[in-house]
């Protein structure tokens, strides 16, 4: 016979109670130990009260936080499926009809396609160029390398889209890249590359050189080493940078808003904005379903990154 | 198969560090050769220079009849096993072993067959589809060996081949490695900082210090007759006793005791000159009672080595260590006497061994001829 | 200290040959590898920054005579900015926005959540974190509409909930609205950073303080804060930088009503691209770049110190 484990582990109230009952009426002159015991009991009582207050405070705070963060989101979860979507979140009269509205809109689906082009193009460019640069910087001691990395990182945090919108607009005009998706891709890539290089270089620095040296002794050419060894070994890093760049571009509003002119070039971020700023009654069926469809890839990417590599890393580099 | 010949091979790093200082060395065909020394002595640089991973700054390097001083690593026909084994984590054991063949453009079917056969020889037949991360340290090492063997190189290079294994595996792997090298008969150079490993494995050892070879010889030569005090203190699991002494007409005076002059340097010493008297703890015989011509002192430390005990005496000559039979009772505080074995005692003048014969470092042409077998 | 004995020996050769070219790339090929990335960075990051400085000294216009023929006017744009009420208004609003939403709002709320959730596991913590993160990762044009809907005068959820029908939050309290909005949007970063930082405070330190009778506030002050000082500074610098450069409030209020939410990015946009005064807009951009530079320099210095300290 063994006692139940919780009984053994925690001295329960029933263990302590008889002692308290036996001692409380027994001592006429409160001895020193008695005094100390009372003191401890009082402290325990205070502690209990404090703990209750703390518990109430904790759950109040958590409820407020939950309410604050979920309130705006409720609409996104409910309205797309509501037959009569209003602006407030309410129990929906379930329908999928709104998605038909979305499908029929000439700009909505095309803008998602445009977003895919912009995000995919930028992602590809950033991953390729950043990987090449990071590899060379990690493995070959080019003169001024550390300074270069420092300046790059500094540049990327200083020259933001907002601070540089005037010259970026001018530059695109001069290079005839206004209203061109290529222009948006190039500008976004330029902004994302420094951080991407920095992070990938960290990845490359973390992989043993002996992999490459070993392949080299077997006679592999630099190209073979890249293809057979380096790329597969740093694939997690490449994937992370790819997802990160895609997520950055997918949500970016300012640069396409600045550089694109014709509505059929607009990515989803800009089309979403025009949906609710253009005159007339806002089409809530359209806006709600479009918001949802436009948001789903971001959520999927987030889940992918956080399940594969944890979110801490991604968190550190989001801008 | 091929010999490796280094002629005044030099490597200077940017910043002026001379990692290799005019190394002259020939590793014979089929030899199992150790580069031994403390960290930073240049042994790894030498190995990497033979591999071609480091470019030499001077001198020449030949493998067989071919001058490979400026040949890129892939064309030298050498295979290297790295300290961390450098197994590609994204490839299976079979793919890893087959990789050199893939580079050499061997057809897929043939190289799979060859890789499986080589891995099989090393007892890896059951692990062909595993990833390196799923193998034990010893298995990983054998995969690395199989990969090196797969392309039949003329030279094997091992960088600290046993250092990544735990103590028990290390002994097993040591025996395995020695047997494998004997069977394959391929010229093999390995680097180690562990003198016991070098003694156990190698046909010949080069002991290095700050970019130079301090002694070249067979394990027994290096162990028995260290050419200088550096090698003497580096070789041996318990370091040699190196005691300051003065030459007298009837012997060498160490700590007030007169020890008989060993036969070899006898006649080559000058009365009154200062020398260092060297004797390994294994070659000191313990006596509880006073013996003429012995070192003496109080027992300070007794370390149990299992089959024997290492006793440290403190006396007029300083600290003296000796290995005592496991059955002999030795107590702390006892007075002990250590009698040197005459034929094993060595005398060093200015750090160099005083000998009757040829250059003990084995570095001159004459010595090289006798060292080569 | 596992395996520390073997480490120096094993590490020595690697360290010595650390700079060598493991794949045999060679410097020329390496430079070739770096070149495409550099080209893009120079063209679309470095050059625009420098060009801003030049443009800020001109009377460049989007349309009209000065568009074809810009003149260098020296510091006239800066002179004008100093006397411009709209600019000083923008500066004050920006300060309010950064201090209110980032330094106070995001940092405090993020820390509070991280602190209260530090010992929790399970559904509650996951739910809270997921919601906070969701606000952070959703596209900005989506979340702005969510807030427009939430704050709507007639059909908004907030009015229904607070029983304040007809309150047009975005018109009556525009600055407060974008501040609360930005707290909502950005608290996630602070929460994650502080959660990571608190994970590095050894539990034994907190327990020692508790045994000594320290209350929550004393624990925070004496044990937690000294250990996460670096994180706090990093956090404040980064969220200030990001909030300062945030264009999203434009989607919510477009700077209005009556310029009451015209923070600097919005100000630049309206001056340069809506009014077409590119030269003046560029001059304001230079100020923004300089402020960014100061924050970034402090941040990089901090990073370097931390790296040195850990090395």
Facing residue for B163 by CB, picked from C10, C17, C24: C10
Q: Does C55 sit within 8 Å of A270, measured CB to CB? A: no
Q: Does B78 sit within 8 Å of A232, measured CB to CB? A: no
CATH architecture of B231-353: Beta Barrel (2.40)
A295 to chain C: which residues are within 8 Å by CB? 138-139, 142
For C35-59, what is each residue's pLDDT tens digit?
999 999 999 999 999 999 998 888 8
**Per-window interface: B 152-191 vs C, CB < 8 A:** 159-160, 163
Facing residue for A217 by CB, picked from B74, B89, B102: B74
C-alpha torsion angle, residues C32, C34, C36, C40 (rounded to 10): -150
- Residue range C108-120: mean pLDDT, rounded: 91
Which of the given ranges, B191-205, C23-37, C144-158, has the highest pLDDT on average? Answer: B191-205
- Residue range C195-206: mean pLDDT, rounded: 86
Residue A205 has a CB neighbour count (10 Å cut-off) of: 13
Could you state, in order of their start, the residue ranges of all structural domains in chain C? Answer: 85-276
pLDDT at B368: 44
**Cβ pair C194, C132 in contact under 8 A:** no
Q: Does A232 sit within 8 Å of B90, measured CB to CB? A: yes
For A22-55, what is each residue's pLDDT tens digit?
344 444 555 678 888 888 888 888 878 888 888 8
pLDDT at A117: 96
A7-11, B242-246, C92-96, range with the lowest pLDDT: A7-11
- What is the residue-averaged pLDDT of chain A? 82
Facing residue for B100 by CB, picked from A218, A232, A235: A218
> Is any Cβ of chain A less than 8 angstroms from the Cβ of C55?
yes
pLDDT at B47: 95
Nearest CA-CA partner of A215 in B87, C33, B83: B87
Half-sphere exposure of A27 (CA within 13 A, CB side): 15
CA-based nearest distance C16→chain B, Å: 9
For B20, which DSSP code?
E
Q: Neighbouring chains of B at 3+ CB pairs within 8 Å? A: A, C
As a whole number of angstroms, the distance between CA B154 and CA B159 comes to: 17
Three-class SS state of B101: helix
As a whole number of angstroms, the distance between CA C235 and CA C165 comes to: 38
Facing residue for C12 by CB, picked from B39, B48, B53: B39
CA-based nearest distance A86→chain C, Å: 7
pLDDT at A14: 38
C9 to chain B: which residues are within 8 Å by CB? 39, 163, 193
- Residue range C62-89: mean pLDDT, rounded: 83
Q: Does A210 sit within 8 Å of B88, measured CB to CB? A: no
Could you state, in order of their start, the residue ranges of all structural domains in chain B? Answer: 4-230, 231-353
**Cβ pair C257, C171 in contact under 8 A:** yes
CA-based nearest distance C142→chain A, Å: 6
Q: Does A87 sit within 8 Å of C155, measured CB to CB? A: yes
pLDDT at C13: 35
- Residue range A154-171: mean pLDDT, rounded: 89
Nearest CA-CA partner of B206 in B20, B7, B27: B27
- What is the residue-averaged pLDDT of chain C? 85
- Say which CATH topology domain B4-230 has: Rossmann fold (3.40.50)
pLDDT at C306: 72
pTM value > 0.90: no
Q: Where are the beta strands (DSSP E) in B103-250?
A: 155-159, 187-192, 204-209, 212-217, 241-248
Q: Does C116 sit within 8 Å of A58, measured CB to CB? A: yes
Domains in chain A (CATH in brackets) are 14-81 (no CATH), 100-317 (1.10.3720.10)
B157 to chain A: which residues are within 8 Å by CB? 217
> Is any Cβ of chain C less than 8 angstroms from the Cβ of A261?
no
Residue C20 pLDDT level (bands cut at 50, 70, 90): low
> Is any Cβ of chain B less than 8 angstroms from the Cβ of C9?
yes
Q: Has residue C122 got a pLDDT over 70?
A: yes
Q: Print the SS3 string covering B179-204.
A: HHHHHHCCEEEEEECCHHHHHHHCCE
- Residue range C213-218: mean pLDDT, rounded: 83
Facing residue for A222 by CB, picked from C24, C116, C245: C24
Size of interface A-C (CB pairs under 8 A): 286
C41-55, C61-75, C285-299, range with the lowest pLDDT: C61-75
Facing residue for C285 by CB, picked from A139, A163, A222: A163
> Is any Cβ of chain C less than 8 angstroms from the Cβ of A154?
yes
Distances (CA, A) of C79 to C66, C67, C73, C285: 19, 21, 11, 15
**Cβ pair A135, A230 in contact under 8 A:** yes
The parts of chain B modelled with pLDDT lower than 50 are: 366-373
pLDDT at A98: 80
Q: Does B151 sit within 8 Å of A214, measured CB to CB? A: no
Greater confidence (A85 vs A11) lies with A85
Q: What are phi and psi of C310, to 5 degrees?
A: -80, -20
pLDDT at C201: 85
Q: Has residue A283 got a pLDDT over 90?
A: no
C24 to chain A: which residues are within 8 Å by CB? 216, 222, 225
Q: Has residue A108 got a pLDDT over 90?
A: no
B39 to chain C: which residues are within 8 Å by CB? 8-9, 12-13
Greater confidence (C292 vs C15) lies with C292
pLDDT at C310: 62
Which residue bears the tokens 């005044």?
B8
For C243-269, what is each residue's pLDDT tens digit?
999 999 999 998 878 889 999 999 999
Q: Does A61 sit within 8 Å of C116, measured CB to CB? A: yes
Domain C85-276 has CATH 3.40.640.10: no
Q: Has residue C18 got a pLDDT over 70?
A: no
For C307, which DSSP code?
H
As a whole number of angstroms, the distance between CA A80 and CA B316 comes to: 96
Size of interface B-C (CB pairs under 8 A): 31
């Amino acid at each position: 016979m063994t006692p139940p484990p919780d009984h053994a582990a925690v001295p329960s109230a029933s263990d302590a109670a008889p002692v308290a009952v036996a001692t409380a009426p027994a001592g006429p002159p409160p001895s020193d130990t008695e005094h100390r015991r009372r003191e401890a009991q009082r402290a325990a009582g205070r502690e209990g009260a404090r703990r209750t207050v703390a518990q109430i405070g904790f759950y109040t705070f958590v409820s407020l936080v939950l309410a604050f963060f979920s309130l705006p989101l409720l609409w996104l979860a409910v309205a797309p499926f509501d037959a009569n979507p209003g602006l407030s979140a309410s129990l929906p009269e379930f329908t999928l009809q709104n998605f038909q509205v979305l499908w029929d809109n000439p700009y909505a689906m095309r803008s998602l396609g445009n977003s895919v082009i912009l995000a995919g193009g930028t992602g590809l460019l950033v991953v390729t160029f950043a990987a090449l640069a990071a590899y060379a910087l990690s493995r070959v001691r080019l003169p001024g390398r550390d300074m270069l990395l420092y300046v790059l990182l500094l540049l990327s945090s200083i020259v933001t889209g907002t601070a540089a919108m005037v010259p970026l607009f001018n530059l695109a005009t001069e290079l005839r890249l206004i209203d061109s998706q290529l222009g948006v891709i190039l500008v976004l890539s330029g902004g994302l590359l420094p951080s991407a290089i920095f992070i990938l270089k960290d990845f490359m620095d973390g992989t043993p050189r002996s992999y490459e040296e070993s392949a080299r002794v077997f006679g592999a050419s630099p190209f073979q080493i890249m293809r057979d060894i380096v790329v597969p070994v740093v694939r997690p890093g490449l994937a992370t940078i790819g997802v990160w760049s895609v997520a950055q571009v997918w949500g970016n509003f300012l640069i396409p808003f600045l550089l694109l002119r014709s509505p059929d070039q607009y990515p989803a971020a800009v089309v979403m904005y025009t949906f609710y700023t253009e005159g007339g009654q806002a089409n809530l069926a359209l806006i709600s379903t479009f918001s949802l469809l436009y948001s789903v890839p971001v959520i999927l990417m987030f889940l992918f990154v956080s399940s594969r590599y944890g979110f801490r890393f991604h968190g550190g580099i989001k801008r | 198969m091929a010999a490796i010949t280094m002629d005044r091979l030099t490597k200077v790093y940017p910043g002026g560090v001379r990692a290799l200082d005019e190394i002259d060395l020939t590793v014979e065909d089929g030899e199992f050769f150790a580069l031994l020394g403390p960290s930073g002595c240049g042994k790894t640089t030498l190995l990497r220079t033979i591999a071609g991973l480091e470019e030499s700054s001077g001198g020449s390097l030949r493998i067989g009849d071919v001058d490979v001083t400026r040949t890129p690593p892939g064309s030298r026909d050498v295979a290297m096993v790295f300290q961390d084994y450098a197994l590609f984590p994204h490839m299976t054991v079979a793919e890893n072993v087959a990789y050199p063949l893939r580079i050499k453009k061997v057809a897929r079917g043939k190289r799979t067959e060859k890789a499986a056969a080589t891995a099989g020889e090393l007892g890896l037949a059951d692990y062909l589809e595993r990833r390196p991360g799923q193998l034990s340290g010893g298995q990983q090492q054998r995969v690395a060996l199989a990969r090196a063997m797969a392309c039949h190189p003329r030279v094997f290079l091992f960088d600290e081949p046993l250092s990544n294994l735990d103590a028990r595996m290390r002994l097993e792997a040591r025996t395995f490695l020695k047997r494998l090298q004997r069977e394959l008969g391929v010229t093999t150079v390995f680097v180690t900082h562990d003198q016991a490993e070098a003694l156990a494995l190698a046909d010949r050892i080069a002991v290095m210090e700050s970019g130079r070879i301090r002694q070249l010889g067979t394990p027994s030569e290096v162990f028995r007759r260290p050419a200088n005090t550096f090698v003497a203190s580096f070789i041996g699991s318990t370091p040699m006793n190196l005691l300051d002494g003065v030459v007298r007409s009837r012997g060498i005076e160490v700590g007030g005791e007169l020890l008989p002059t060993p036969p070899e340097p006898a006649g080559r010493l000058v009365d009154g000159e200062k020398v260092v008297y060297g004797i390994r703890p294994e070659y000191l015989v313990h006596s509880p009672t006073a013996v003429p011509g012995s070192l003496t002192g109080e027992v300070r430390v007794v370390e149990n080595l299992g089959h024997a005990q290492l006793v440290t005496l403190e006396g007029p000559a300083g600290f003296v260590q000796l290995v005592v039979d496991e059955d002999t009772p030795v107590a702390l505080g006892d007075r002990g006497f250590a009698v040197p074995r005459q034929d094993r005692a060595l005398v060093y003048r200015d750090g160099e061994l005083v000998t009757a014969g040829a250059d003990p470092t084995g570095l001159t042409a004459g010595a090289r001829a006798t060292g080569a077998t | 200290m596992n395996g520390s004995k073997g480490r120096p020996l094993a590490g020595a050769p690697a360290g010595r040959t650390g700079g060598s070219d493991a794949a045999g790339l060679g410097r020329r090929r390496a430079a070739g590898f770096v070149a495409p990335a550099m080209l893009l960075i120079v063209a679309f990051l470095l050059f625009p920054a420098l060009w801003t400085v030049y443009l800020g000294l001109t009377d460049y216009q989007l349309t009209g005579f000065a568009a074809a023929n810009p003149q260098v006017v020296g510091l006239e744009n800066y002179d004008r900015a100093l006397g411009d009420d709209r600019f000083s208004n923008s500066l004050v609003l920006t300060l309010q926005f950064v201090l209110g939403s980032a330094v106070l709002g995001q940092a405090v709320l993020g820390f509070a959540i991280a602190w209260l959730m530090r010992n929790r596991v399970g559904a509650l913590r996951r739910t809270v974190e997921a919601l906070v993160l969701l606000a952070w990762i959703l596209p900005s044009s989506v979340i702005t509409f969510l807030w427009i809907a939430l704050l709507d005068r007639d059909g908004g959820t907030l009015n229904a909930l607070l029983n304040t029908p007809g309150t047009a939050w975005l018109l009556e309290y525009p600055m407060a609205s974008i501040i609360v909005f930005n707290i909502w949007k950005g608290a996630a970063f602070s929460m994650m950073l502080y959660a990571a930082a608190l994970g590095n405070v050894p539990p034994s330190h907190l327990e020692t303080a508790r045994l000594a009778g320290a209350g929550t506030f004393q624990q925070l002050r004496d044990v937690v804060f000294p250990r996460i000082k670096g994180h706090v500074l990093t956090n404040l610098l980064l969220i200030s930088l990001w909030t300062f450069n945030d264009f999203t409030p434009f989607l919510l209020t477009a700077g209005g009503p009556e310029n009451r939410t015209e923070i600097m990015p919005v100000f630049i946009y309206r001056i340069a691209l809506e009014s077409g005064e590119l030269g003046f807009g560029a001059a304001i951009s230079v100020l923004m770049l300089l402020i960014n530079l100061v924050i970034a320099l402090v941040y990089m210095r901090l990073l370097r110190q931390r790296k040195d300290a850990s090395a």
